[in-house]
Amino acid sequence: MSQSTLFTRWTGWAPQLHSLLRIVAAFIFTSAGTMKLFAFPVAALPGGGTVSLASQLGIGATLEMLGGALLLIGLYTRPVAFLLSGEMAVAYFQFHFPQSFWPVANHGVGAALFAFVWLYFSAAGAGPWSLDALRKKHQGSP
């Protein structure tokens, strides 16, 4: 197999890898919400506590869990990703940025990356492995 054939085959997987990135990122993102709301897979607060649903952290955790679940299955990806991108931008600038300009110093790497990953998916869509793609196929849309 020639190098150009291997490269062509590899780049042909871009749509599936697009979906895989969404799925893996959404799984990790959803677990951030379940951690805060249900102390699963680990507790966010000392002593196994959870955040109050009526708090700002509770609202954010609910968005992470429900929005992350929708992104995981690729349903309503563009609007949900746009909303979650904004949530992560707010989280970054409200909680992390005041501590330091640098994300590695202010522990905001996750929030900054998720803000841009979700912004990307809000423009690019869910990819072929998604309920959005399945809905589009059944609706006969181009």
Residue 16 scores a pLDDT above 70? yes
* pLDDT single digits (tens) 37-87: 999 999 988 899 999 999 999 999 999 999 999 999 999 999 999 999 999
Q: Give the domain ranges of the chain.
A: 3-139
Place of tokens 């959404």: 26
User: What pLDDT is attached to residue 2?
Assistant: 79
CB within 8 Å of 100: residues ≥ 6 apart: 106
Does pTM top 0.85 for this prediction? Answer: yes
At 112, the amino acid letter reads A
Residue 127 scores a pLDDT above 70? yes
User: What pLDDT is attached to residue 72?
Assistant: 98
**Cα distances (Å, whole numbers) of residue 110 to 8, 14, 87, 141:** 32, 24, 12, 35
* pLDDT single digits (tens) 88-107: 999 999 999 999 999 999 99
